[in-house]
Chain A
Amino acid sequence: MSRYDWLLFLHLIGAFALIGSVVTFSTLLVSGERVAGPQLVFLGRRLFEVGGLLTLIFGIWLALDDYSITDGWIIGALVLWFVGGGSGSRVGELYNTGEGGRARQPLIVMTLATLAVLILMIYKPGA
């Protein structure tokens, strides 16, 4: 197995965790935190932190090793990562302080940004 394979594997674990945080926060929004709220908030926040870190570190490593960091789709993904990261932090904060009712808007931004990154990663326009 090449270094590319391992970097991709670790990058994908991060992507699974990041989408996991979006799904967890969405479940909280739908179920209204009535059941297992604190535990699901904990899960969503940890998945967001681990996913954000792994996708960024191994994504940049992959870009430097196997692509070009100045490619449009990589720059676009980085910008979207920061948009998703900012809104995701806000969602986590709101749930953590018991203001989950106000998380709908940042969660929509987080979801759209994360999905857009996933689409860019798969389609790689211009690569």
Chain B
Amino acid sequence: MTAPVRPDSWNFPLLLHVLGAMVLVALLAIAAVVLSVAMRSDDRAAALRLAFRTLLIGAIPAYLVMRVGAEWLASKEKLEDADFAWVDIGYMVADIGLLVLIVMTVLAGLASRRARQGGTPSGLVKWANGLALLLIVAYGVALWAMATKPI
């Protein structure tokens, strides 16, 4: 057996971190799909409302679970001040990712409101969709860093 073994006390924070990240990425993918079909949908307002709610009620809480799990795990592993590339990548993606997630949620919310008033918020939708895809790629890089731990 060559696989590393971690102390039992790290397991629950790791579970929170991993589960939060998995749900977050899934909800970003769902939001991206819904946003990409929203402008062609018969009920554009309903599609944009679903995308907005997916981000607000789903993705932001999932982010918080992921981030709390990460911080808890880092304190257990004494990694808060560690100088490892994989830890830095994780923090960078998480911190910038939160900002992007908030911007994306606001854009989706504005688009939803505009669609409800009869407008065509295609610019807002395109930006929100682009940010969702960007975040998915960024979390893919973070997953690679977490799994392979380069340096």
Contacts and interface: CB of A to CB of B under 8 A. Distances in A.
Interface of A: 1, 4-6, 8-9, 12-13, 15-16, 19-20, 22-24, 27, 31, 34-36, 39-40, 43, 47, 62, 65-68, 118-119, 122-124, 127
A70 to B, nearest CB: 12
Interface residues of B, number: 37
Given A35-B43, A36-B41, A43-B30, A9 B2 contact: no
B8 to A, nearest CB: 8
B30 to A, nearest CB: 5
Contact of B22 (A8, A16, A43): A16
Interface of B: 1-3, 5, 8, 11, 14-15, 18-19, 21-23, 25-27, 29-30, 33-34, 36-38, 41, 43, 46-47, 50, 54, 58, 140, 143-144, 147-150
B18 A43 contact: no
Contacts of A16: 21-22, 25-26, 143
Contacts of B147: 5, 8-9, 12
A31 B57 CA distance: 13
Contact of A118 (B5, B15, B54): B15
A23 B30 contact: yes
Question: Across chains A and B, which 6 residue pairs bring their CB atoms closest together, nearest first?
Answer: A23-B26, A20-B26, A66-B3, A9-B147, A19-B22, A5-B148
18 contacts: A1-B148, A9-B143, A16-B26, A16-B143, A19-B23, A19-B26, A20-B22, A20-B25, A22-B26, A31-B50, A35-B47, A36-B38, A39-B33, A39-B36, A65-B2, A118-B19, A122-B15, A124-B5
